[in-house]
Amino acid sequence: MNLVPIGKLQKTFGTHGELLLALYGGGAALSQKSPVFIGVEGLSVPFYFKSIMEKGGKFVVIFDDMEQEALAEALVGKEIFAEKAGGRKPSASPAESEDMLGYTFVDAAYGAIGRLTRRLDYPGNPVLELATEQGKEILIPNSPDFITAVDKKRKIVSVSLPEGLVDVYLQRS
């Protein structure tokens, strides 16, 4: 994936997951429709904005499903990245996209975490979107390094995800 650094999360800014974001050079455009990427356990994890508000040349942002101060605190000091112009490739062909749609993903540490709803093919960093029973969205890397087994008969994919990745989405501490 061709990511470029666009800014840094400087500090929390409130008690509902708000973060103060300083952009490098002030030139990047922030959008609630496009993800930014943050390094988590050596992986580029996509994050979507719930809200973006300009404040004195910087931005107060809240990420989707990150509305708690403790979760936001874990991101302080992290650099954020965006895809370089050229952006996202079209999604995978229907045969590739549908072969595991609806499968339940079971993590070694957390148990069942969600069902596969779609694939997002970011250049060099394809991710899988899972929906939990509680209606939350989880994005995980689509990498053979994390998939430990696939049971096609029972429609179960066993994964061993990096520590903390599921916490980011399920707000566990």
Rounded-to-integer distance, Cα 116 and Cα 102, Å = 5
Full-model pTM: 0.51
Q: Give the closest residue to 80 by CA, choosing from 116, 115, 111, 34.
A: 34
**Hey, what are 23's tokens?**
């952009």
**CA 8 to chain CA centroid, nearest Å:** 17
State the architecture of 94-170 in CATH terms.
Roll (2.30)
Within 10 angstroms of residue 75's Cβ, the number of other Cβ atoms is 20
- Residues 119, 129 contacting (CB under 8 angstroms): yes
Q: Give the closest residue to 44 by CA, choosing from 126, 167, 137, 148.
A: 126
Boundaries of CATH 2.30.30.240 in the chain? Answer: 94-170
62-94, pLDDT tens digit by residue? 998 888 888 889 899 999 988 875 544 433 322
100-121, pLDDT tens digit by residue? 889 999 998 889 999 999 888 7
Rounded-to-integer distance, Cα 88 and Cα 74, Å = 27
> Regarding the domain delimited by 3-83, which CATH topology (the fold level of the hierarchy) does it fall under?
Elongation Factor Tu (Ef-tu); domain 3 (2.40.30)
Boundaries of CATH 2.40.30.60 in the chain? Answer: 3-83
Question: What is the predicted pLDDT for the residue at 85?
Answer: 59
On the question of pLDDT at 96 being above 50, the answer is no
How many alpha carbons fall within 13 Å on the CB side of residue 10? 11
Q: Residue 94 burial by CB count (10 A; 0-12/13-18/19+): exposed, middle or buried?
A: exposed
Question: What is the predicted pLDDT for the residue at 172?
Answer: 54
Phi–psi pair at 121, nearest 5 degrees: -95, 80
